[in-house]
Amino acid sequence: MTTKFKFNFSLWIGVCTGIYAVIYSFSPLGQTGIMPISFVAFAIFFASGANREEFINFALCFSCGVGWAKICIFTLGLTASLPMPEVYSSALTFVVFITMVTFVHFIIPEKFRLNKTPGCFGGILSTLLLGGDMAIPVLSNLIAGLIFAYVCASGALFLTPKGDWTLPSNVKTDQG
């Protein structure tokens, strides 16, 4: 990847971010006040390789993660009544819960759609951070961020390997 490619791709992402921020602000999501959650999805998608063909996998795993978080919150409520200090009952819950979630998503073969463990944890952590009552806004923001990341990743299709702008039909890339 040339410096020119990196600069133009960065410019594409920057412009897309500005457009996203304006659209987001005027959308119903803007009323949630949790725009940073959409950047959690963006970061996870890019850190995982920004493979556009895995969009559905990530969307499903973010959704699954929000569901897992709801189960975790419910379980934390149950274990809080155990005859031990709450810090220990919470730790016990997280040991069992995280072991189970990680094992389930690690053993799912690549051919299935629920194989993006980072996406699952993004959904879990975002929901735990904001609380179970925010599950729908969290998931909506994660999906919006994923769509935003997909558009940003698609910018590579408009660049030649040397970094010149072109139409997507005129270039082949390994960017997804």
Q: Is the CB of residue 59 less than 8 Å from the CB of residue 121?
A: no
Q: What is the pLDDT of residues 73-86, one digit of tens each?
A: 999 999 999 999 99
132: buried, middle or exposed (CB in 10 Å: 19+, 13-18, 0-12)?
A: middle
Task: Could you list the beta-strand ranges (E) of the chain.
Answer: none
Residues near 146 by beta carbon (within 8 Å), at least 6 away in sequence: 41, 42, 45, 55, 58, 59, 62
Q: What is the pLDDT of residues 119-133, one digit of tens each?
A: 999 999 999 999 999
Residue 165 bridge partners (DSSP): 159
User: What number of other Cβ atoms are within 10 A of residue 151's Cβ?
Assistant: 15
Q: Would you say residue 14 has pLDDT above 60?
A: yes
Q: Does residue 159 sit in helix, strand or coil?
A: strand
